[in-house]
Amino acid sequence: MSSDQPTDSPRRSLALMADEQLVEQFYAGDQSADSPANRDKSALETLLNRYNTIILTYLFTISFFKNEQYLADVRQKVLITIFNELSNHNFASIVEGSFKKWVYRITYFACINSDRERRADMKTTSDVFPEEETDLSNLVLMRTTPSTSDYEEVEEQLNEVSARLTDEELELMKLVSQKVPYKKIRERQEFQKYSVDYLKHKVHNIRKRMREKE
Amino acid sequence: MGKNNISKTKEALKSNPCEKYELAITNYVIGEKIDIPQSELFEHLAKCQSCQGDLRNWRATYATMRAKEYDSRPEVKQKNEAFIKKLVYETKETKRTPIDAKWEIGSAAGKIYNLLKANGEMPIPVICQKTGLKEYHIQQAIGWLAGQEKILLTRDDKTAYASLRG
């Protein structure tokens, strides 16, 4: 790895900076440096790490395909686009608004393009439209697409509730997050004593506890 | 213990008519089988603002849970960090350079002009093939030649043609 990587203490102060400040720091590094190689790249690295999971979260909501490996690949494309755009100084908060909204816009368009390519590669109709969807369900799903501010609220709810869950409940939610079906969860030793119905209601009640935090 | 959770939901079901839809929303989002017909769920959702809010919240929550869980896996975490480091510290940056428009468009226009002079009217895709120029250079050069009234452009249902004027 190259020698221009930062030490730990500047990294800590970068973590406290706002997105737009980090962009400014990256741009400013460019002006004072002799060559692009001497830019303040740690600011850029901090930004990309900060948005890594946020981008994937947004992709899980908006993509037609919920396959995690596919979405992780789309995320890489988004990170490359952000890197290229920032390297060319193409983000200006006065034009684009907040950095976060700019990232969401890039993610949205990358997702639409990738979904279109993936659909075009598919051979059978059932692959292209994996779930039977009606006009009404499409309308409702479109109307209930989370807004960018929803994720911040949810993050708080999750952190608060997670801190008060038992180990067993945490494990259950982890398995649900991995999309393990209830029947498979029940096959695990620690959940054998419960019925599928119980697990369903358990998850539902945990979710209600999160909503009550609103 | 198990009964406790189910009875809690049953109690809620009595006091809240939306409870059965909320339970269906929980299972629909995570991809589990739901206890009521899907059409009934969506008909209710189309009318009920409160359940729409519930669905929106659970979709955001579940997406956050999935992304966090995926990124917390040690092999994924390691891969992500390596990818970002490589991208930031090892990618050769692409710097934009100004286009020498006069030279680039002018030389492309010259090639097209000479080709049309030698062969007469030609379809534009054939001009692309014969000159070996990039499509955007062809478009710029043809635009420039047409603006200078050096060429005449015509089109039929299938393609466009260029020929020298006069």
Cβ contacts of A135 on chain B, cutoff 8 Å: none
Cβ contacts of A200 on chain B, cutoff 8 Å: 23, 26-27, 32
Cβ atoms of B41 and A134 closer than 8 Å:
no
Picking from B34, B47, B52, B84 by the largest number of A CB atoms within 10 A of its own CB, the best residue to mutate is B84
Q: Is B66 on the interface with A (CB under 8 A)?
A: yes
Residues A112 and A155 in one domain: no
Number of domains composing chain A? 2
Choose the closest CB to A79 out of B30, B56, B87. B87
Domain range for A134 is 8-143
Q: How far is CA A130 from CA A127, A208, B136, in A?
A: 5, 29, 39
Query: How far apart are the C-alpha atoms of B49 and B38, rounded to whole Å?
Result: 18
Q: Is A128 on the interface with B (CB under 8 A)?
A: no
B56-88 confidence digits (pLDDT tens): 999 999 999 999 999 999 999 999 999 999 999
Task: Report the DSSP beta bridge partners of residue B153.
Answer: B162
Residue A32 sits in a domain whose CATH number is: 1.10.1740.10
For residue A158, the distance in angstroms to the closest alpha carbon of chain B comes to 8
Average pLDDT, chain A: 83
For the ranges A84-93, A167-176, B144-153, which has the lowest average pLDDT? Answer: A84-93
Strands B151-155 and B160-164: antiparallel
For residue B70, the model assigns a pLDDT of 94
Cβ contacts of A3 on chain B, cutoff 8 Å: none
Instruction: State the pLDDT confidence band at A33, using cuts at 50, 70 and 90.
Output: very low
Q: Angle A19-32/A41-62 helices, nearest 10 degrees?
A: 140
Residues A57 and A138 in one domain: yes
Choose the closest CB to B68 out of A53, A179, A204. A53
Residues A77 and A16 in one domain: yes
Four-way CATH pick for B101-164: 1.20.1440.230, 3.90.1580.10, 3.30.460.80, 1.10.10.10: 1.10.10.10
Interface confidence, given as ipTM, is 0.81
Choose the closest CB to B60 out of A76, A150, A195. A150
Cβ contacts of A204 on chain B, cutoff 8 Å: 9, 22-23, 26-27
